[in-house]
Amino acid sequence: MSIFETDTEDLDILFDQLEHPDATTRRVAILALADCGHEDAAAPLIRRLNDIEPDLRAEAAKALGNFHLTCVAPALVQALHDPVAAVREAAATALPDVVTQQHEQVLLAAAVHPTPFVQAVALRALIPLRTPAAFPVAAAALTGTPDTAPDTGSDTGTDTRRAAAALLGWLRTEAAGALLVQAARTDPDSEVRRTAIGALTDGPDVEATIRHALSDPSWHVREVAAQRAGRLGLRAALPELAQAMTDDYWQVRVKAAAALGQPGLTEAIPILAPALSSPISTLRKEAAAALGAIGDSAAVPLLEELVNDPDPEVRKLTRKALAELARIT
């Protein structure tokens, strides 16, 4: 018998193997049931979340990510409390794949659990639901009100605030935007500020906050701020993006170059010009693409200097930019 067949007789054999005293036999059965995806396998696999062997509990949690049944998400939420980190991580990875709107209350309850890890996982799992009911718990987690988890360490607290920022970004409300602006400007952890900046879309103070973030002490924040400025087309951020083109970190310069590639932003041409001779090919490529996007024939002589660039991607982007400029000028 192939263990991956899924008729009733085979399933019964695999269910029996799940109870076998030999751990290897139980593992094989878990993997086989995960592969078959038969809905009758969900309940037996949920029981394996209490297996005496931690690695089998983790395998069962991974397997349950294949089952989109009502009973699975609550079981995985419970597994977030497992004493073994590998099991908790497996449950956290599987949970977002199985949640639906009917799990809203389970996740909202987990999002205010006193354990920061559980909070963070629940907040992330709530993202695809985009439920307005998530706003109060996400707001509390981000701002550190008494309803949030006790401080059990900076790493876990940071993870919770980061998850809350990501969730607020998906809610796309004015109140959520106001909290993201506050976090982007004042949160003590750079990863939270970075997540908040990346989640900003539109609304009061967004442009000013992104421009402010382009001088953040963390280059990771400056990088995502430059990227956001480009995606939102923040032409008023030209002075800050010009400064970003001299950043110590090339990753920031690359995102700034891309952000400057806005149609008609001719003021950016002299700002981009020095990047065309950068030893970093990715920066040369982004600068060439940006010059093409600006759409001004003044960039043609600069781009012609790159037609024989040693990097094939730079040459490709340069030819494309020149062709675009020839078309529109």
Contact 238, 256 (CB under 8 A): no
Q: What is the pLDDT of residues 209-228, one digit of tens each?
A: 999 999 999 999 999 999 99
Longest dimension (CA), the chain: 77
* Cα–Cα distance list, 235 to 23, 83, 264, 304 (Å): 62, 51, 10, 26
CA pair distance 267, 1, nearest whole angstrom = 71
Q: Which helix (H) or strand (E) covers residue 54, if one does?
A: helix 54-64
Q: Which of 119, 226, 129 is nearest to 170 (CA)?
A: 129
Angle between helices 154-171 and 174-186 (to 10 degrees): 150
CA pair distance 300, 322, nearest whole angstrom = 7
CA pair distance 213, 328, nearest whole angstrom = 34
Instruction: Give the Cβ contact number of residue 217 at 10 Å.
Output: 8
CA pair distance 60, 75, nearest whole angstrom = 11
Contact 160, 192 (CB under 8 A): no
Residues in the chain, total:
329
Identify the band that residue 155 occupies on the pLDDT scale cut at 50, 70 and 90.
very low
Identify the band that residue 248 occupies on the pLDDT scale cut at 50, 70 and 90.
very high
Assess whether pLDDT exceeds 80 at residue 276.
Answer: yes
CA pair distance 45, 29, nearest whole angstrom = 10
CA pair distance 213, 121, nearest whole angstrom = 27
Lowest mean per-residue pLDDT among 120-129, 194-203, 320-329: 320-329
* pLDDT value for 148: 38
Instruction: Give the Cβ contact number of residue 127 at 10 Å.
Output: 19
Identify the band that residue 153 occupies on the pLDDT scale cut at 50, 70 and 90.
very low
CA pair distance 15, 188, nearest whole angstrom = 50
* pLDDT value for 5: 46
Lowest mean per-residue pLDDT among 6-10, 96-100, 125-129, 242-246: 6-10
End-to-end CA gap in the chain: 70
What tokens appear for 295 in the block? 């759409």
* pLDDT value for 265: 96
Radius of gyration of the chain (CA): 26
Q: Is the pTM of this model over 0.85?
A: no
- Residue recorded with tokens 């909202």: 108
Lowest mean per-residue pLDDT among 31-45, 50-64, 223-237: 31-45
Assess whether pLDDT exceeds 90 at residue 75.
Answer: yes
Average of per-residue pLDDT values in the chain: 91
Q: What is the pLDDT of residues 294-314, one digit of tens each?
A: 999 999 999 999 999 999 999
* pLDDT value for 7: 57
Identify the band that residue 8 occupies on the pLDDT scale cut at 50, 70 and 90.
low
Assess whether pLDDT exceeds 70 at residue 107.
Answer: yes
* pLDDT value for 328: 80
Q: What is the pLDDT of residues 170-181, one digit of tens each?
A: 998 999 999 999
Three-state DSSP at 329 gives coil
Q: List, in order, residues 6 or more apart from 196 with CB less than 8 Å away.
A: 165, 169, 180, 181, 183, 184, 187
- The secondary structure of 10-49 as a DSSP string is HHHHHHHHHT-SSHHHHHHHHHHHHHH--GGGHHHHHHGG
Q: Which helix (H) or strand (E) covers residue 73, if one does?
A: helix 72-79
Three-state DSSP at 238 gives helix
Three-state DSSP at 309 gives coil
Average pLDDT over residues 72-98: 96
Average pLDDT over residues 123-150: 82
